[in-house]
Amino acid sequence: MALIAFINGHSQTKVLLRPEVDKLFPESVQQQLGLKYPIRLVYSFSDDNGNFFMPLCESDEGVVDGDSLHYKIKAVNLKYENGQFVKQWELNDYVLTAQEEESIWFYTKYLTIKDIDGDGTVEQVMIYGSTGQNGKSDGRLKILIYYMGKKVAIRHQNSEFDGDRVTEVDKEFYDLPEKVQHFVKGVMKRMADDGQLIYASGWVMKMSKKMTHIQ
């Protein structure tokens, strides 16, 4: 009953405090949900469809040169109903050893969970990236948009060389509502302005033409 009262008090997206995480996701619940890596943080949110929790998990491979290393990541969107968690979708990824990637993690600064288009349903814009031998400059970035039960992806490969910078956009991205598209493009620009990644020249114009391969 305490858990239900706690959940029903949610009205907007927030990050749970560690004591709240420990209470809602003890080891037994983590095992039940298949959360094998440490929980970095948990978002809670509600919309017209109910109450939800989203744990973000990153494996722990220690610290090298002051930076934490993560080889695997996982996120799970959970709806709480009838006294239990019901999985809505699951995200998994890992470092690509063939590309000599060193770490992968969620970009929580840019990750967004909110009702972007005002239809009463919360959208999730999940963002994570990796580092290679030269750090972020040869890592990759992935943006996943969860909208109305569908997943749409934008994948980007960073590079120090102009010709090797590639952005792949799912064609379904251009079917999303204009507000959602505009919001995601704004996040992409913000990340570029912050020096997190470098796109191929003319990427804004190319996306306006609904191109799916930008290089």
pLDDT in tens, 178-213: 999 999 999 999 999 999 989 998 999 999 999 999
Phi first, then psi: give them for residue 38, nearest 5 degrees: -55, 140
Beta strands at 67-68 and 103-106: parallel, antiparallel or unpaired: unpaired
Q: Which helix (H) or strand (E) holds 183?
A: helix 178-193
Tell me the pTM.
Answer: 0.91
The answer to whether 169 and 208 have CB atoms below 8 angstroms apart is no
Q: Which residues of the chain have pLDDT under 70?
A: 1-11
CA-based Rg of the chain, rounded to a whole angstrom? Answer: 18
